[in-house]
Chains A and B, each alone.
Chain A
């Protein structure tokens, strides 16, 4: 029982990341009709926003410490961050320690800007082209973005720790009456789940309760009519693209402490997120979120030793297996609407 609860918890944070990425993918697909293979790269860039802010805050000047020697026997040069000079050592280190939460604020404008540039600069030229062209150009874009990041930050993962206050893990087992240590879960992953829930809620509220959201939803349903009513739907959709980029970016920022960011982390998530979108139903936002969590939890269960003992290798194919079953029984996915991608 405790193992089951543990794997459900475990699936939730992975599911959160899938859900956030799939949400953005569906938003873009629903509004602009574009299949955006560069969306995983936006997630990756988000994670590197955290890395960048961490580096910016840690920018240092060198002070020669005569008492210590470096590896060649010369006096050791010690790095002193500028923030320490400005705010004093205690505040300075606290700021660097909190760089990941601070990166949330930093990443929103950056990601919206990147999203808008991507949409205006490249993707808008592909609206009327076949989906195959869109896939090729966005996939190419993803590779370009990935290589740029690799050029700047190198190929190895870069550790980007969460604030010290959030290290360690929470003992759920004790709450539920199990032995201590039976069900433990890292604090930061719990925060990630809560954060994802808030973001998903905020996006839904934005679409449901604002005029802007109403127009966008109307545009998703019938772009032409909304245009005929004199509403500049293209502009609204550009903003939606920026918003979707920001959602992917935020998912990336918060994910940085969970797995050290590297340049190909976006690709790892992208493929699965597409499966999530298809399983959830093309164009359905609640479907994307539900399928994200569902597949995250299933993936977790499949990697349990008890399950692998019966079905070896199941952990690597479970998602695709479930996708096949769902699509065979419900060809439009869990919550797919009629008419989407069927014309």
Chain B
């Protein structure tokens, strides 16, 4: 056996010194040359997709993730390019964002604010994500938006419908493409008045959190201005499971319309309960009793099955739209996954493209430059007609769809029919509208 001077201790010591030596320069450059949070230095850029992968909205989250993956593929020049060819701004050419290949990390929000913040934080600090997007609950969106503001990254909200996201809780680093409760009310109320008359008495069941409150307020205001009367508004706990004890008193309350301000599993359960109680076959005040679900999604419609037929609601987007942008998106999504995209998928895909486009136009990943490029930006070709990203509150203004549960669906995806495309002008409101007042954007934070 030959004698050697190499010892375990020695190897470890040398390794540690060498390791520290290699790491030293990067530690210095990372902190000294940083112009803003997570400035991409290599030839790739990392985006953080924060969606519910477990919990009650997991199916919605899965569809959002499919859309994000598709968007990344298109940005990097893969697939058929989807909406890149229909987007009015033609600065994206499939070569990534500013020549950097797009990579992504995903986090699981679990539809809980604290879990969503933790996963966003991890993606920002550990994976160096330069932008966070996603979510399918307003509670989560508002929590993550606040975190991104503090961390100095851009937040492109996914499915969030509460007025507060771009109202009292708006942030300079946060942007919402999805429509909101006020817009649902403004679009839905005239159709409701036309279909059911102006002399109606409504009973609201409302999910007891930020989104439910703002939706109830919005629908109530919009319908009352058309002559409806609101008999009663009842708050229900989120995840109540069985809503029968809330549904049972409705028919005897003097109301002839039931408005369900519920979403996801709650909406599926409350609507199913209401239909079981036979509300839709009943008469009240000499009129047919009707149910309204102001915020619809196709994934929810599938959960509610037969119950959804004939019921009016509003939605941000639907795959049956015939504009070029929607057709291109449905084509590439449908070809890749075998079924049409949901409204959640649409808004997430569009948000990713809008972010990439803003970076490209600004010529920088700096959140403040990106925010500036998005503010007051007018675009078209992404599915809802000409759209404005309003500078005052970072809310997109575009056409809104009023939809109805289809009576004779031809497939499990063909569940909603578009009743009316409400023009953008009808759903616009002043930035200081009372339903949105109370907060301020503040100034953008680049984390520098």
Partner-B contacts on A (CB < 8 A): 2-3, 6-7, 9-11, 13-14, 68, 70-72, 76, 150, 154-159, 161, 167-169, 181-182, 184-186, 188-189, 257-260, 262, 264-265, 268, 299-300, 303-305, 308, 315-316
Contact = CB atoms under 8 A, between A and B. Distances in A.
Interface stretch (B148-156, B187-195, B329-337, B429-437): B329-337
A166 to B, nearest CB: 10
A122 to B, nearest CB: 24
Contact of B252 (A182, A186, A299, A316): A182
Given A184-B251, A260-B268, A305-B249, A71 B330 contact: yes
Contacts of B245: 7, 10-11, 14, 299-300, 303-304, 315
A14 B249 contact: no
B26 interface: no
B284 interface: yes
Contacts of A182: 251-252
B244 interface: yes
B304 A159 contact: yes
Contact of A157 (B54, B268, B319): B268
A159 B305 contact: yes
Size category of the B interface is: 35 or more
Nearest to A154: B59
Contacts of A11: 245
A9 B248 CA distance: 10
Given A3-B249, A76-B411, A259-B241, A186 B269 contact: no
B114 to A, nearest CB: 19
B242 A14 contact: yes
A11 B244 CA distance: 9
Given A76-B410, A157-B269, A262-B265, A316 B237 contact: yes
A3 B254 CA distance: 13
A190 to B, nearest CB: 11
Contact of B58 (A9, A154, A260): A154
Given A168-B278, A186-B278, A13 B411 contact: no
B58 A150 contact: yes
Given A155-B56, A303-B246, A70 B241 contact: no
A295 to B, nearest CB: 13
A299 B241 CA distance: 13
Contacts of B306: 159, 161
B56 A184 contact: no
A258 B276 contact: yes
Contact of A305 (B232, B278, B410, B413): B232
B439 interface: no
A305 B331 CA distance: 49
Contacts of B426: none
Interface in B91-109: none
22 contacts: A6-B252, A7-B248, A9-B248, A14-B245, A72-B334, A150-B54, A154-B59, A157-B268, A159-B303, A159-B306, A161-B306, A181-B251, A181-B284, A184-B282, A185-B277, A186-B278, A258-B273, A258-B276, A260-B304, A262-B56, A303-B245, A304-B245
B411 A184 contact: no
A207 B339 CA distance: 53
Contacts of A159: 268, 272, 303-307
B216 to A, nearest CB: 15
A184 B232 CA distance: 20
A156 B276 contact: no
Interface in B14-58: 54-58
A71 B413 contact: yes
Contacts of A161: 305-306
- Chain A interface, DSSP helix/strand/loop, else mixed: mixed
Given A159-B303, A258-B242, 8 more contacts: A14-B242, A159-B307, A182-B251, A184-B277, A257-B276, A258-B276, A262-B265, A304-B249
A155 B59 contact: yes
Contacts of A71: 319-320, 330, 334, 339-340, 411, 413-414
Given A10-B244, A268-B241, A158 B303 contact: yes
A3 B249 CA distance: 7
B252, B283, B304 interface centre (most CB from chain A within 10 Å):
B252
Nearest to B275: A167
Interface in B274-297: 276-278, 281-284
Contact of B278 (A9, A184, A257, A262): A184
Nearest to B335: A72
Contacts of A257: 276
Give 6 nearest A-B pairs by CB, closest first: A159-B305, A155-B58, A169-B278, A303-B245, A186-B276, A156-B59
A264 B232 CA distance: 31
A260 B410 contact: no
Contacts of B237: 315-316
A76 to B, nearest CB: 6
Given A161-B305, A181-B252, A184-B251, A155 B54 contact: yes
B234 interface: yes
A262 B399 CA distance: 34
Contact of B302 (A70, A156, A181, A268): A156
A71 B340 CA distance: 7
Interface centre among B252, B276, B304, B305 (most CB of A within 10 A): B276
Contact of B303 (A6, A72, A157, A300): A157
B299 interface: yes
A72 B320 CA distance: 10
A72 B302 contact: no
Contact of B272 (A13, A260, A299): A260
B249 A156 contact: no
Nearest to A300: B245
B242 A259 contact: yes
B415 to A, nearest CB: 12
Contacts of B305: 159, 161, 260
A168 B278 CA distance: 5
